[in-house]
Structures are given as structure tokens and as C-alpha cells.
Amino acid sequence: MKKLLFFILILSFFKVNAQKPLLPKFNDELKKWQYLDTSEKVVLTLKTLDLKNALYFTEGLAPVQDAKTNLWGYINTSGLMVIKAQYDTVNFFLDNYAVVKKVCKTNCYKGEEGLLNDSQSFVIDKTGKVMCQDNSQDERPYARFFLNENFGKGMFSITRGIGVGERKDFMNYKGEILGETIYSYVPNAIHWDEELKAIKCGGKYFDTKGNIKLDLSRYQEINADFSNGFIWTISAIETETEYSLINVLVDSIGKEILNLSYESYTQLSPVEKGVFTYVDSKDNFAYSYTIKSNRIEKIKEYEFQFEELTEDLGYKHKDGSQIIYDIDTFEILGIQLKNGRKFYLKSTN
């Protein structure tokens, strides 16, 4: 089996592929790539293309790698190369745009810090038109910025001023930088919160025009994303003699719903139907907490479980299927259907 590369491609695919998934598989007998549906039926054979890799379709386009040049382009659902193979790295399309990269060969910046990035990133549309590009080769540190993630709605996270610190921001497909610059080494410090329909930038949430939708920057830490109208945060309380942390449950308009001891209430779960679970560190028992009535019920003694995993599943598609991938190598292994049946690219026996 041909090894599928670029972990960032895999993660992006899990998020964006809303259409019925087609599983790319190399046919050793034909020496060609094919696409199979979830019933294992061959839907498309790429007879005229000599490819090293073929990935999944999103929004009608799939990244493919030319066997001779090792460069990437995109095919449509008819198997035609509609964006020629010219990029060293590509990503899946999301909301009509994709981030692609070319290795810098001329006019590459080399300063005291050395070559900071050997490639330049571009935002392209589904016709292959370049909408904007990064400024990775600028000799002025504070003028540089690098494209990171496409989180949809024509919005992209960027890292600014490489060589002078980790300053992060976001921009639209026109190259207009929006929001507020934050300083963070956390990879997902800027990302799209699907439930809130907003861009999380540090402790603030912005709409796609760069306006603040919700400000939670007063909290020490914000855990994950909103779930069923709530999110867990951590607040610091500091006096002359004491410093403590509090778990704070906040709703989607910023109202504080609950304040719980950080030391006593651990393993807090997302809220579902007004109920969450936690583990009491004093007795090591798991409890359920009903927010509306403040009712607490003991569930069972909590046991820490350590499991040796070799594979995991990606995000669910609308039809219930999920991609199977190796957690160590990030190689795509196959697909698991809604009924639990697993279909591997190669035998696991």
C-alpha cells in the first residue's frame, strides 16, 4: 500500500468532508489509483494519470501527487486534473478555499536567524486562482507572516513575526488581517468554534468580519470549545495570602453558571442535556451533576484506565462512517462504516 503523507491533510479531511466519503486505494494489479465508496464498490479508476498518492474528495476536488515530479495538484470527481500538479504541499478544500505551498527557490530570506521557512503559502480557490499569499520571505521580522490553518468561512489563522516571537492572528481570503494579535505557542490558540460560529483567538471570540462576539479573556484558561451552550473555564483568585483556581461553567453569552473548586472537581465532562459528570478527588468517585436542580448523584468509583492503542478514528461523516488511522504514524488504514464494520486498505491479519 502506498503510504499517505501529510498529517495536516488528514486532520483537515476529518473536519471538512461532508459529502459521502470515497476511499482512495491503489490497485496493485492495474497499477492505478481507484476510489471506492463505503460499500467497497469501485466508483472511479484514474486510468490516465501516473500518481504516487491520491487522497480524499472534499467539495468535489481531491489532492493527488504526480509520480514523476512529486508535486501535488487536484482532480475532480471525473478523474480529470483540474488544478495542475505544481505544489510541494497541499490541503483539502474547505468553504471553497485551500492552503497550498511551494518551496522557495528564488528571493528567499536568509538573515541572522537563517532560512526561517523554506516554502511560501498561498490561498487558492477551486479554479486554482491565487487569492492571497503569505509574507514569509520578508526581511523585516515584524512584517513576516505565515499561513497556518484554513478553518472555513474564508478565514485562516496566521503566525506573525517569526524570528521575534510567536504572535498569532487571523485573516480572510483577501489577505486582510483581522482580530487582535495574541502571543501564544499553543498550536490551536486560534481556531473556529463550530457551536458558537465564531473564531476563538486567545480568550476572545470574533465573527468573520473581525468584530468581538464574546470576550472570555478574563479567565485564566478556556477548555476546548462550546458544547450544548456551555464551556468550562478556569479562573484564578489571588489575595495577599492565598492563590487558588476555580472551575467556572460559562454559557454562550458569557454568563457564569457554576463555580466549583478546582482541586475537588476533576475530570469535568462537557454538559449534555443540562448534566455533566466529574470525579471528586477526595473519594475518587464519579458523580453526575444536574445544573438546574443542583442534584448530585454518585455513579461509581473512578478507575484510571491506560490502554495501548495502535489506531484511532477521525471525525464522523454525515453517513456515520469514520476514517481509521494509525496514531503513531498517522497513516490512513481504512474506514469504519456506521454499522461498525471496518474496511482496511490492506489486510490486518
Structure confidence by residue, pLDDT tens digits, 165-212: 578 889 999 999 888 888 877 667 888 898 999 999 989 999 999 999
When pLDDT is averaged across residues 284-313 and rounded to a whole number, the result is: 72
Query: Phi and psi of 83, rounded to 5°?
Result: -125, 110
Per-residue confidence band for 242, with pLDDT thresholds at 50, 70 and 90: confident
Please determine, for residue 146, whether its predicted confidence score (pLDDT) is greater than 50. Answer: yes
Q: Which pLDDT score is estimated for 75?
A: 96
- The total of other beta-carbon atoms located within 10 Å of residue 16's CB is 21
Query: Which segment of 21-30, 72-81, 227-236, 310-319 scores lowest on mean pLDDT?
Result: 310-319
Q: Which pLDDT score is estimated for 283?
A: 82
Q: Which pLDDT score is estimated for 304?
A: 46
**Helix or strand or coil: residue 305?**
coil
Share of the chain above pLDDT 70, in %: 79
More confident residue, 313 or 204: 204
Q: Which pLDDT score is estimated for 191?
A: 85
When pLDDT is averaged across residues 33-58 and rounded to a whole number, the result is: 90
Q: Which pLDDT score is estimated for 316?
A: 58
Q: CA 243, 216, 227 angle in degrees (round to 5)?
A: 105
Give the long-range contacts of residues 170-178, CB within 8 A, separation 24 or more.
170/199, 170/201, 170/206, 171/132, 172/208, 173/97, 173/123, 173/125, 173/131, 173/132, 174/131, 174/132, 175/123, 175/131, 175/132, 175/133, 177/145, 178/206, 178/209, 178/210
When pLDDT is averaged across residues 263-285 and rounded to a whole number, the result is: 89
Is the pTM higher than 0.75? The answer reads no
Nearest 10 degrees: Cα torsion 236, 239, 240, 241: -80
What is the residue-averaged pLDDT of the chain? 82
More confident residue, 144 or 254: 254
**Which residues are 276's β-sheet partners?**
289
Please determine, for residue 234, whether its predicted confidence score (pLDDT) is greater than 90. Answer: yes
Per-residue confidence band for 17, with pLDDT thresholds at 50, 70 and 90: very low
Highest mean pLDDT among 159-163, 251-255, 262-266: 251-255
Q: Which pLDDT score is estimated for 13?
A: 46
Run of H or E including 8: helix 7-16
Which one, of 110, 170, 113, 157, lies nearest residue 138 by Cα?
110
Please determine, for residue 324, whether its predicted confidence score (pLDDT) is greater than 80. Answer: no
Structure confidence by residue, pLDDT tens digits, 59-72: 999 999 999 999 99
User: So where are the chain's domains?
Assistant: 7-93+307-344
Please determine, for residue 32, whether its predicted confidence score (pLDDT) is greater than 90. Answer: yes
